[in-house]
Every structure is written in structure tokens, then in C-alpha cells.
């Protein structure tokens, strides 16, 4: 199969509109998104189940909800996500940065692996680095059991810029199948607000940490269940 390229795309809607993803990919292999400028009310780019060998480069995102894998794990018999590269992108004034999101209480097991974010610039971004396995928007689910989406082989490298929230790195994995082989390398994020010091949180994951200040390197760690996330 020949790779498929998407470039020079611009979308715009007000930032509060729901389900207005700029680009959504699912059940696809060999997609390249490059040199795109996207502003929307939801994810600038979302990558759903059964996506493989997807490359996102030189994308400008904002406003919007960031560049996301998922949401995954909501429906029965979802297929794995593998081989995702997001590189040389800039996110500005977005509600999230680079994110992996999965629902709790997944009806079927699946996996997301080989996901790599590198050379990313954040400008006033909330939740710049986020793994959220308690994703539950608009209270549409209950925390009956942990997510069954296995997250493995994920890296965040050379991510720099400013966070709008003091919690700049949040890795919340499932108690049932904790994340494995997660790497944080050369993370340099600042926070200039008045809601507390710059910090990070990791739950059910023990990432490899290289070139990261203590505040961003899992300053708080937990193996206990956490409340559902509704954003």
C-alpha cells in the first residue's frame, strides 16, 4: 500500500464546540499528515482504533484539544493502535498537548504501542503531556473496572515551552494493565501562573526519565485508583 499524505489543511471553529476534530483517522495504515494548520473546538488531530504507521509532522495546532491518540476502549472488539510518530509540531493555547486517552471499563482488551512524540513546542498549553486512562467526557461512563487498553512503548522527547496549568506532566495509567516502557526525555516546560508550583503526576507507571527536572519527573506517584477525568 502506498502512503497517503494530507497537507496544508486549515480548519476553524469556536473552541467550545464538541466533536469537531480537525482530522480524525481510524482503520487506516500509512497516513502522513504534514504542514497543516488546524484550529478547532475539539482535537486538532485524533487517531482512533486500528490505526497503524501514522506520521504527523510540522503541524500547528490551536485552539483545540491537542493531538490525541483515542479515545480508545469505548466499544467492543476495538483493534490495536501501533506505530504513531508526532514530530516537529507546535501547540498554542490548547486544552491539552500531546495525549493518549482511553475509557475505563473497556468491553474488550486492546493495545496502543509504538507511540512517539518528539520535538514539540508548547505555548500556554493546559496538560502539555498527558496519558489519561480514566477518560470519561460528559459523565457518560462509570468507574466499574480499569481500562483494558494496554499502553506500551511510548516516548515523549524534547518537549519544550510553557504550560497553562501547574500540572504539566500527567501520566495516569490503569490499575489493571499498567503502562510499560514509557520514556520522558529532555522535557523543559515552565509555568508562570499563580495556582501553585510546576509539578507532575504519575499513576501505575514507572517511566524512564532522562534530562528532566525533578518537578516534571513524576513528582507525585501513585498506584491507587484515581477519579475519572471529564475533559
Q: Could you give phi then psi for residue 138, rounded to 5 degrees?
A: 60, 30
Measured over the CA atoms of residue 60, residue 46, residue 221 and residue 151, the dihedral's sign is negative
Q: Longest C-alpha distance within the chain, in Å?
A: 51
In a domain, residue 231? The reply is no
**pLDDT confidence of residue 8:** 53
* Beta carbons of 39 and 63 less than 8 angstroms apart: yes
In a domain, residue 32? The reply is yes
What number is the average pLDDT over the span 28-51?
96
pLDDT, tens only, 166-204: 999 999 999 889 999 999 999 999 999 999 999 999 999
**pLDDT confidence of residue 185:** 98
Tell me the catalytic residues.
42, 65
Is the model's pLDDT at 13 over the cut of 60? Answer: no
CATH of the domain at 28: 2.160.20.10
Instruction: Measure the CA–CA gap between 227 and 204, rounded to whole angstroms.
Output: 14
In a domain, residue 84? The reply is yes
In a domain, residue 96? The reply is yes
Model-wide pTM > 0.75: yes
* Beta carbons of 14 and 37 less than 8 angstroms apart: no
In a domain, residue 95? The reply is yes
Which range marks the domain in which residue 123 is found? 4-222
**pLDDT confidence of residue 225:** 55
In a domain, residue 182? The reply is yes
Domain count, the chain: 1
**pLDDT confidence of residue 137:** 85
In a domain, residue 227? The reply is no
Map grid coordinates 517511566 to a residue.
Answer: 207
> The C-alpha cell of 134 is what?
480514566
Percent of the chain with pLDDT over 90: 77
pLDDT, tens only, 67-125: 999 999 999 999 999 999 999 999 999 999 999 999 998 999 999 999 999 999 999 99
CA–CA distances in Å: residue 184 to residues 54, 61, 153, 160, 216: 21, 22, 11, 12, 9
User: Between 117 and 4, where is the model more confident?
Assistant: 117
Amino acid at each position: 500500500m502506498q502512503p497517503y499524505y494530507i497537507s496544508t489543511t486549515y480548519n476553524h471553529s469556536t473552541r467550545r464546540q464538541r466533536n469537531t476534530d480537525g482530522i480524525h483517522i481510524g482503520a487506516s495504515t500509512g497516513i502522513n499528515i504534514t504542514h497543516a494548520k488546524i484550529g478547532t473546538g475539539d482535537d486538532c488531530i485524533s487517531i482512533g482504533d486500528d490505526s497503524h504507521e501514522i506520521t504527523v509532522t510540522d503541524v500547528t495546532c490551536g485552539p483545540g484539544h491537542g493531538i490525541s491518540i483515542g479515545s480508545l476502549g469505548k466499544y467492543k472488539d476495538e483493534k490495536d493502535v501501533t506505530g504513531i510518530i508526532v514530530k516537529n509540531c507546535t501547540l498554542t493555547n490548547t486544552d491539552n498537548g500531546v495525549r493518549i486517552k482511553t475509557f475505563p471499563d473497556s468491553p474488550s482488551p486492546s493495545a496502543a504501542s509504538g507511540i512517539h512524540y518528539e520535538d514539540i513546542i508548547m505555548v500556554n498549553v493546559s496538560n502539555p503531556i498527558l496519558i489519561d486512562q480514566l477518560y470519561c467526557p460528559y459523565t457518560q461512563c462509570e468507574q466499574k473496572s480499569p481500562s483494558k487498553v494496554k499502553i506500551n512503548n511510548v516516548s515523549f522527547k524534547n518537549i519544550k515551552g510553557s504550560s497553562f496549568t501547574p500540572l504539566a506532566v500527567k501520566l495516569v495509567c490503569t490499575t489493571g494493565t499498567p503502562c510499560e516502557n514509557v520514556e520522558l526525555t529532555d522535557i523543559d516546560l515552565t509555568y508562570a501562573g499563580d495556582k501553585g508550583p510546576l509539578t507532575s503526576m504519575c499513576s501505575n507507571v514507572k517511566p524512564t526519565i532522562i534530562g528532566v527536572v525533578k518537578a516534571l519527573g513524576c513528582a507525585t506517584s501513585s498506584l491507587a485508583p484515581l477519579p475519572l477525568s471529564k475533559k
